[in-house]
Amino acid sequence: MAAGLQNRVVRIARPIDGLPGPDDFEIRVEPVPEPGEGQALVRTIYISIAPGVRPLMPYAGERPDVAQDSSAGRVDASADAVPNPSRIRVGEAMRAGMVPSDSKFAGGTVGRVIASRHPDFRVGDYAFGGRYWQDYEAIDGASAIRLDPAELPIEADLGLIGRSAFTGWVGYRRICNARPGETILVSAAAGSVGMLVVQLAKADGLHVVGIASGADKCAFVTRELGADACIDRMGEDVGAALDRLCPAGVDIYFDNVGGAVQRPIFDRLKPFGRLIVCGMAASYCGGGDTQLPTGIILGKRLRIEGFVVLDYDDDYPAFRSEIARLWREGRIHYRQLVYEGLESAPRALADCLSGRSSGGKILVQVAPDDSRAERS
């Protein structure tokens, strides 16, 4: 079955200082895994790249203050009943998903089945559920989804209806308590989470302002996603731009980045405003931390709420149904940026973390996608 096949596996080579680079990884040629009972052997086609995996990777220096573990700051957290992603150690395979998890929705790759010992997966099927940066992976059938290319493109499970989009949906639908006429500000608005939040909020009748890095991304946020305005954080002062665009203040700040940009926005929240802490991308590689003033939180009766999408798996079918329907109706736009080849994955991650990409969901294509011809 695996005769003549080579399995390239990307592993963490060393603790990483700041932004990951190619030298922080190594590609090893290893045996193709044999699927066990209840597993399917999948040839990886696409890998998801997302900034949220960086805090799980080893740091060469002091780990930045980024929320990834509910046990932080307490002597005994043994009674916790919430899932926490585990760290990736030096020498381990690089992950594309929030593993370990037995959820069907926690994978980070899609590919094609080349051998199967699970009744729901046959050779030739397309599957979502891989977790690692490698050519071949034996995935557990119980924690995977068989894909139908005639329903949606197979890469949609990493982008349009993938984990990042689901995160945006959960944050907006379940946390924001948004009401028509309110003003919502979305940072990283051209990214894989922000794209969906902008469009859902606009469809609900909110005044939507994005923040993005660069004029091209800002144009995408306003012209294609439909935001009322977008602030270029690299070319203008965020506070001054908010005073011009939202003189009465902001009702909801959907924060995907944290960092220094957070404070001028926080100061401009209205009474009973909401700060939704979704991501801290500005801090993942060190630096960019900010401290929020508790006096203002009390005086304005602000609600600050963080959420982790791992807690909302029961909502995934509703999310998938809604977003797939809106996409088929032409009411949702979703941009993808595809890097070619497994060896390009470290560069793709660095571009994702630094904001150097052109926006949208970043994928790495590892093998040819035959499903495109099957759909046509």
CATH number at residue 295: 3.40.50.720
Going by their DSSP bridges, the two strands 39-49 and 109-116 should be labelled as: antiparallel
The alpha carbon dihedral of 69, 73, 77, 81 has a sign of negative
Q: Which CATH number covers residue 145? A: 3.90.180.10
String of DSSP letters for 26-82: EEEEEPPPPP-TTEEEEEEEEEEE-GGGGGGS-BSSPPP-----TTTT-S--TT--S
Higher pLDDT: 117 or 287? It is 117
Q: Is residue 151 located within the same domain as residue 180?
A: no
Residue 322 lies in a domain: no
Nearest to residue 172, comparing CAs of 280, 256, 283?
A: 256
Domain end, chosen from 310, 328, 363, is at 310
Give the domain range for residue 90: 7-156+336-375
265 and 188 Cβ atoms separated by less than 8 Å = no
What are residue 138's DSSP bridge partners? 41
Q: How far apart are the first and last CA of the chain?
A: 30
pLDDT > 90? residue 288: no
As to burial, measured by CB atoms within 10 angstroms (0-12 exposed, 13-18 middle, 19+ buried), residue 187 is buried
pLDDT for res 372: 79
pLDDT reading at 99 higher than 60:
no
- Let me know whether 186 and 281 are in one domain: yes
Considering the domain boundaries, does residue 315 fall inside one?
no
Question: Per the domain annotation, does 320 fall within a domain?
Answer: no
Domain boundary among 310, 325, 354: 310
Q: Is position 34 within any domain? A: yes
Inside any domain, residue 321? no
Q: 71-85, 170-184, 220-234, 246-260: lowest mean pLDDT where? A: 71-85
Q: Examine residue 2 and state whether it is found in any structural domain, yes or no.
A: no
Q: Is the confidence at residue 270, as pLDDT, over 80?
A: yes
Same structural domain for residues 42 and 99? yes
Q: Indicate whether 216 and 233 sit together in one domain.
A: yes
Of 25, 88, 79, which is closest to residue 53 (Cα–Cα)? Answer: 88
Report residue 33: phi and psi, to 5°: -65, 150
**316 assigned to some structural domain:** no
The count of structural domains within the chain is: 2
- Tell me the per-residue pLDDT of 337-356, one tens digit each, with 9 for 90 and over: 999 999 999 999 999 988 88
Residue 4 reports pLDDT greater than 90: no
The Cα–Cα gap between 168 and 224 comes to 18
